[in-house]
């Protein structure tokens, strides 16, 4: 695992193949970073499916309303948390391989709990979606996530923790 510099702003996602360590960027997107920590600490992300995984693009997850085991799998990707939506926190950071982006509807201020991890540099997303983290280790495990929209048998986040709590 990566050398964790700031445990309070580091997320560890346990996948079937191994841990993914994400460095949050609170100096760039403080509201999105705080939301991810809040939902992780509440256990809301545990067991949530990767409901949209497009080869050569990204893996999307975080629907804490419909994406959990026992939830309505047909609705996965349409829900969020019971917390209010977040305002966009756009920056000059590019959507490069391994960055974490906030998923949203066509409204830039509609991000809530869902996020995606870029499989490659996706510059066409720059300035349109909030970047609030980057994978610092475990990208090889992200690359193994089952593809599909939705996948027939989706991979899930086994657990999501703030490193300071782990």
Instruction: Return the percentage of the chain with pLDDT > 70, whole number.
Output: 99
How far apart CA 38 and CA 94 sit, in angstroms, is 25
How far apart CA 84 and CA 38 sit, in angstroms, is 13
For residue 150, cis peptide bond before it (omega within 30 degrees of 0): yes
More confident residue, 156 or 2: 156
How far apart CA 49 and CA 3 sit, in angstroms, is 27
pLDDT tens digits along 121-138? 999 999 999 999 999 999
More confident residue, 55 or 72: 55
Name residue, tokens 């980057």: 134
Q: Which domains, from first to last, does the chain contain? A: 8-165 (2.40.100.10)
The strand pair at 18-24 and 58-61 is best described as unpaired
Q: What was the pLDDT predicted at 74?
A: 80
The torsion angles phi and psi of 94, rounded to 5 degrees, stand at -80, 155
* Predicted confidence (pLDDT) at residue 73 exceeds the cutoff of 80: no
Spell out the alpha helix ranges (H) of 115-156.
139-142
Q: What was the pLDDT predicted at 71?
A: 77
Ranking 4-18, 68-82, 146-160 by mean pLDDT, the lowest is: 68-82
Instruction: Return the percentage of the chain with pLDDT > 90, whole number.
Output: 90
């Amino acid at each position: 695992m990566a050398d964790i510099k700031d445990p309070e702003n580091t997320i560890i996602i346990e996948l079937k193949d191994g841990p993914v360590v994400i460095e949050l960027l609170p100096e760039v997107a403080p509201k999105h970073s705080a939301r991810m920590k809040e939902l992780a600490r509440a256990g809301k992300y545990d067991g949530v499916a990767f409901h949209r995984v497009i080869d050569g693009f990204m893996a999307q997850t975080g629907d804490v309303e419909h994406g959990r085991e026992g939830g309505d799998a047909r609705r996965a990707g349409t829900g969020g948390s019971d917390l209010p939506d977040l305002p966009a926190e756009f920056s000059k950071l590019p959507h490069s391989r391994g960055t974490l982006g906030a998923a949203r509807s066509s409204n830039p201020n509609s991000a809530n709990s869902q996020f995606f991890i870029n499989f490659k540099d996706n510059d066409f997303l720059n300035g349109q979606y909030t970047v609030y983290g980057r994978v610092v280790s475990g990208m090889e495990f992200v690359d193994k996530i089952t593809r599909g929209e939705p996948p027939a048998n989706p991979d899930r986040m086994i657990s999501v923790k703030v490193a300071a709590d782990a």
